[in-house]
Structure 1
């Protein structure tokens, strides 16, 4: 259940009439807070508290684009029995309209069966090339799957950021509302000007507009999340209660994982191996092919008497050879395979450099977000709060500028939002590093 904490606006530093106003306002808000918490409890139970990993798995099972990639892989698997077996034998039948007379009788018809045999090792090379192509397709599927996992996690983190931002903004709205009440009561007792009331009301209305924008952005992300999950629009999405803190490995270990596990690199490696196998296959196709066959000739009875083996059918074994005298096309295949191999090598080298740069950029973003979070969480917000406490106590004795209180309150909201933004940015950078390192790779050909 998402636990919404309402800032205690009774700071302990206000006294007199100011403190009484704050206490009265807080009592008024208690039923509203209770209703809000009960509503949040109901929503949490309805959403079944799914985790980010649950949503990633659901997306893997339901996302149509990922399913299309998986079907491409399954289609590539079906190529092996197509290219790795002998060609179909040829069967022909001949009937002699005018039988050919022989000593033992007239030849009336013939059945021929022949089979073409490729050069030794050709079928094995075709099967190997087919297997490598299928593996490359599987790595393409893995890349799409990891990208989907990253998009799901990124969207959930953005939803978490928006939910926390709305909560923080609502807490600050309550504080601004209390300041409106305080300034109004002071104005009624001639201890503050009407300008103080108007300024507080202006700040509160501005914040309300900001909250509505945050809520609209949250609805857009809900829609995007349901699209990734292939759900109907408006389906319930459970936002995480908190973000788990993890520790990244060092750069060298992460870079080694990228080079070893990244599906895009593995796909290019398989493509390079396919080119090598296709080059070997092209050379084999430049060798002669063998043909073997059998002829069976039907022979009728002869009219001549006393002929041994009269009407005996004839059986003949045939053999042939395919001569690759037009070898230019096979030489071109060899050159084409070599060009493809070099292309895969260049792409592999380029992709490795790009992924290393992306890893360094993500590590930079991760460290920067961590520093910003520590700055806002451990220093700036505490200092702002101390300053507000001091000014509020001074305001109670008519010696502080109310406009400066509002400005500091606005600055506090800004830092609180920046703190949650920094925390989310840290986890998004971590999620992208996981995408680069292929941490979500599957070991078997399945979703």
Structure 2
């Protein structure tokens, strides 16, 4: 096995501890700077602030009236009137409103948790795609470097009549194809880098530090949860259900009569040229009022809506749970397949490299077939690409599993 091949297997098989640390740095940065996270946090803060909004009584009513045509009473003519009214909800209504708003705030908080999980998933997957593009470019550059070595060898063999110009042209054509593929991967890397930077809310051209992925385990890592039952996406439905229950409690409270208290003050002028004890005595009249919901179809309708809403939430939760379990099963299967492919392609690559060693030894006898060289290099490149794809897919599926189970 030559030195280049040893380096490749070494880079694939050995763990690079800095990868996990570097990714964690980006994940923390994204959680701090991503505008979507800031937006859902604002929504949660708004929901919390609504508790102060509902923890109040209805507006106090003040009114003033002036008698254009004064009303005569025994004690004198009425001149103007001042009134104050305060409606009071039934006992426990304000508490029910606060409970409903608190339940809605809990649902908004779950949105924050979900958004952070989704962001972590997106950043991780984008990072792994950047790795795949970068590592694929490195493999292709190694192939180009090796082909350039063979070009020099072909020139030497042409001079001594052991190779033809056609062999040289085939090597050059293959090298040009690899160079074109490298350029295409550079464009892919730039596009993915722009996507990654957008998740971190930084300029799209910011350079991203990507290091090799850690060593793939030879056995698939176990997952503690084989079914999804307590994922935040499901907890959100539970919180919404609780909010509907709270809304129904509030609806029943609002269907009970409200009462109010108030006071009227009427200014009375004195009768001129008369002298009696109550002359010009003002009027002070306490008031008590009741608001009775005689037409209560509204509250019956809200109760029916809440009942239907509970059924809807239950059905939607079950549907989403089934979907998440399907995604979990698919991710587990795909990760296991990636691991099997990785092991198989490592063996195939080793066999191809053994064949390359045999072919290299044939140079000493002066026997060389550049068609065999190209075929063997293309086969090695196929296995190396498959290994990178398997590693990338393994970690992409692991990111999905982390989203679903952690």
CA contact (8 A) 2:103 2:246 kept: no
Q: How far apart, in 1, do the equivalents of 2:385 and 2:343 lie?
A: 13
Task: Find out whether 1:435 has 2:406 as its counterpart.
Answer: no
Please show how residues 301-340 of structure 1 align to structure 2 within 5 Å: 301-303=270-272, 305-340=274-309
Q: Deviations over 1:66-119 (max 9, x none)?
A: 333332222222322223321111111122223333333333222111111222
CA contact (8 A) 2:5 2:353 kept: no
Equivalent in the alignment of 1:198:
169
> Which of 373, 377, 386 is 1:418 aligned to?
386
Give 1:194 deviation, angstroms: 2.9
CA contact (8 A) 2:195 2:204 kept: no
CA contact (8 A) 1:103 1:302 kept: no
Equivalent in the alignment of 1:342:
311
Task: Find out whether 1:124 has 2:119 as its counterpart.
Answer: no
Per the alignment, in what secondary structure is the counterpart of residue 254 of structure 1? coil
Q: How far apart, in 2, do the equivalents of 1:360 and 1:280 lie?
A: 40
Give 1:232 deviation, angstroms: 1.9
Per the alignment, in what secondary structure is the counterpart of residue 432 of structure 1? helix
**Which deviates the most, 184-193 or 75-84?**
75-84
> Which of 381, 386, 390 is 2:354 aligned to?
386
**Which deviates the most, 339-348 or 399-408?**
399-408
What are structure 2's unaligned runs of at least 5 residues? 7-19
CA contact (8 A) 1:50 1:238 kept: no
> Structure 1 length as normaliser, TM-score?
0.81
Equivalent in the alignment of 2:56:
85
Q: Deviations over 1:177-211 (max 9, x none)?
A: 11111122112112223333222222222211111
Q: How far apart, in 2, do the equivalents of 1:358 and 1:9 lie?
A: 40
Equivalent in the alignment of 1:363:
332
Give 1:407 deviation, angstroms: 0.6
Equivalent in the alignment of 2:242:
273
Per the alignment, in what secondary structure is the counterpart of residue 317 of structure 2? helix
Q: How far apart, in 2, do the equivalents of 1:303 and 1:436 lie?
A: 89
Please show how residues 239-278 of structure 1 align to structure 2 within 5 Å: 239-243=210-214, 250-251=222-223, 253-255=224-226, 258-260=228-230, 262-278=231-247
Q: How many residue pairs get matched?
A: 391
Equivalent in the alignment of 2:3:
8
Q: How far apart, in 1, do the equivalents of 2:243 and 2:183 lie?
A: 55
What are structure 1's unaligned runs of at least 5 residues? 1-6, 12-48, 440-447
Q: Deviations over 1:146-197 (max 9, x none)?
A: 2222111111111111111111111121111111111221121122233332
CA contact (8 A) 1:395 1:401 kept: no
Q: How far apart, in 1, do the equivalents of 2:378 and 2:221 lie?
A: 38
Q: How far apart, in 2, do the equivalents of 1:268 and 1:218 lie?
A: 38
The 1:229–1:164 alpha-carbon spacing in structure 2 relative to 1, beyond 3 Å, is same
Please show how residues 75-224 of structure 1 align to structure 2 within 5 Å: 75-224=46-195
CA contact (8 A) 2:255 2:296 kept: yes
Equivalent in the alignment of 1:33:
none
Q: How far apart, in 2, do the equivalents of 1:125 and 1:341 lie?
A: 18
Q: Deviations over 1:275-317 (max 9, x none)?
A: 1111222222222111221122222234464422433333221
Per the alignment, in what secondary structure is the counterpart of residue 259 of structure 1? coil
Per the alignment, in what secondary structure is the counterpart of residue 110 of structure 1? strand
> Structure 2 length as normaliser, TM-score?
0.89
Q: How far apart, in 2, do the equivalents of 1:122 and 1:249 lie?
A: 53
Task: Find out whether 1:354 has 2:314 as its counterpart.
Answer: no
Q: How far apart, in 2, do the equivalents of 1:9 and 1:431 lie?
A: 31
**Which deviates the most, 205-214 or 135-144?**
135-144
